[in-house]
Amino acid sequence: MGRFFLGLLAAALLAGCGAGAKHRSALDPFAYDRGAPLGLRDRGVINHGYPIKIHDVSFTSPKRGRVSGYLVTPPGPGRHPAILYMHGSGGTRADFIPLASYMAARGAVGLTIDSPLSRSPSPPAKTGIAALNQDRDLNIQNIVELRRAIDVLQSLRDVYPKRIAYLGYSDGAKAGAILAGVEHRVQAFDLMSGGAVPVYVYARQAPRSLRGRITRALDLVDPLRYVGRAAPSSLFFQDGLRDQTVPRYALLNLSRAGSRPKRIRWYAAGHPLNKRAYHEQLVWLAARLGLGGPVVPGALRGP
């Protein structure tokens, strides 16, 4: 098996691509001890003189290490809806601070976290099936940590535990597609520029003797397998007509596989989308979370 093929398979797994054979219960790969201590730490506010506060936080990963994040909070007493954010490949928890701040100005608490890859961008190099299994494990860890982040949000006194949404971009959207199938504490999922390709497309490029092992590795982190199980959670797919990072057929695969209720919107934009997409995102999330009050005085309204 050549280097190009192995690289293609590794990239496919990191992207969460594919649709494979059925295995055991969908929750099994992403199970963890919800009763374990959260280990939540707040190192304090990192911005001052602005009505929306950004806290540097972290919590214990159910897998290993600590998950770093930013908790974005609106002013005022009482409980608020919440949104969990996940960046794309090569991104960090900082990427969603502007969007989380816009939603906080409307009364939503935001939590944007670093993925396992952004915290450890250079895991020990492996090849072949071992590389696939390593990347599969990192993807599973990411989903488990996202589930733990929901535990963190629900533990906060100023959060409504049953009014939580998720926003993911690119690889974060693919992670959200998996999360949607196993985590129904989230009411709504906004999935931006996320696509998927069936597992068999990758497996059939391998020697016949390896196809079963490849399919099993990819199938456990296959967004097409899970996104169809999102109901009753709502799905919003936001994709660009000029996306040069994710092929259009892959974008179509994911949105078509999603369960209902769902909304699909295409924009005259590339992979990062555009101002119209972000405006519609704010409106959709506000409606799903019941945010109808005035914008916090002195805070930016949006892009």
Q: What is d(CA 213, CA 38) in angstroms, rounded to the nearest whole number?
A: 35
Tens of pLDDT, residue by residue, the chain (303 residues): 333 333 444 444 433 333 333 334 445 899 999 999 999 999 999 999 999 999 999 999 999 999 999 999 999 889 999 999 999 999 999 999 999 999 999 999 999 999 998 987 666 667 888 888 888 999 999 999 999 999 999 999 999 999 999 999 999 999 999 999 999 999 999 999 999 999 989 889 888 999 999 898 899 999 999 999 999 999 999 999 999 999 999 999 999 999 999 999 999 999 999 999 999 999 999 999 999 889 999 999 888
Are 223 and 250 in contact by the 8 Å Cβ rule? The answer is: no
Structure token pair of residue 95? 């990427």
Cα–Cα distances (Å) from 179 to 29, 105, 174, 183, 285, in that order, read 12, 26, 9, 6, 17
Distance, C-alpha 262 to centroid of its chain: 17
pLDDT at 217: 87
How would you write 207-275 as a 3-class SS string?
CHHHHHHHHHHHHCCCHHHHHHHCCCCEEEEEEECCCCCCCHHHHHHHHHHCCCCEEEEEECCCCCCCH
Count of Cβ atoms closer than 10 Å to residue 116 Cβ: 21
- Prediction pTM value: 0.90
Look-up of token digits 């201590």: 37
Nearest to 17 by CA among 246, 221, 249: 221
pLDDT at 16: 36
Count of Cβ atoms closer than 10 Å to residue 82 Cβ: 30
pLDDT at 3: 36
Q: How many residues are listed for the chain in this entry?
A: 303
Q: What is d(CA 26, CA 15) in angstroms, rounded to the nearest whole number?
A: 19
Domain 3-21+80-289 has CATH 3.30.930.10: no
pLDDT at 123: 66
pLDDT at 205: 87
